[in-house]
A and B are shown apart, each in its own frame.
Chain A
């Protein structure tokens, strides 16, 4: 079955440093989504990427979808303490028959930011 792998598992940074998390799928994806989960909270949708090679920005966050639609990355520039949480990628297979495939989540990258 489809697997979504995410690295690193943990990242500790000093406030102001950059942060990147990487996501790889065992199969080609129709789209990839990114979620943020604050400690003790629930996943909150950040963004969806659909097109091969797509790059989207949200303020200090930059999301990329690979040309082969099998990998993705999230980059945060100049981290702040409010960025603390776990960042999950979630992918949906492209060759899923029927209405839609279900989201399969990566294990997440837990980001801690030292002030």
Chain B
């Protein structure tokens, strides 16, 4: 079963520092997403990415956030200046071409702790 891979599994960073969360989506998938989940809460949409550009973003995804697909395989989420409230589990997800028949495949997540 193909997997979405995320690294690192856990990142601890000081407030104000930049972090980059990395994801390797399933190779033939076309749509890529970042979601986050604050401990014990719901899964919140951050951003979707298709055809090498952002297709939609939520209110959470402000100027501090950016995404890139630098080399056709990795999909990264950058937070420029982390805040305490950015502490959460960040999930990457990807979706193949058959958007109407398949669910998202989520990675195992990166737990970001901002101290």
Using a CB–CB distance below 8 Å, which chain A residues touch chain B?
31, 33, 35, 37, 41-48, 50, 88, 90, 98-100, 102-108
Contact = CB atoms under 8 A, between A and B. Distances in A.
Given A43-B43, A103-B33, 16 more contacts: A31-B100, A33-B104, A41-B108, A42-B106, A42-B108, A43-B91, A45-B105, A46-B103, A98-B55, A99-B50, A102-B56, A103-B104, A105-B35, A105-B42, A108-B42, A108-B43
Contacts of A106: 42
B42 A102 contact: no
14 contacts: A35-B106, A41-B108, A42-B109, A45-B102, A45-B105, A45-B106, A47-B103, A48-B101, A90-B43, A99-B55, A100-B99, A103-B104, A107-B41, A108-B43
Contacts of A90: 43
B45 A104 contact: yes
Contacts of B55: 98-99
Q: What 6 A-B pairs are tightest by C-beta distance, nearest first? A: A45-B103, A107-B42, A105-B43, A42-B106, A43-B106, A33-B103
Interface string B76-114: 000000000000000100000001111111111100000
Contacts, number: 55
**Dominant SS among interface residues on chain B:** strand
Interface string B36-50: 000001111100101
A43 B36 CA distance: 11
Interface residues of B, number: 24
A33 B104 CA distance: 9
Contacts of A37: 43
B50 A102 contact: no
Contact of A88 (B33, B43, B99, B102): B43
Contacts of A100: 31, 99
B56 to A, nearest CB: 5
A106 B109 CA distance: 19
Nearest to B31: A100
A89 to B, nearest CB: 10
A42 B33 contact: no
A81 to B, nearest CB: 21
A45 to B, nearest CB: 3
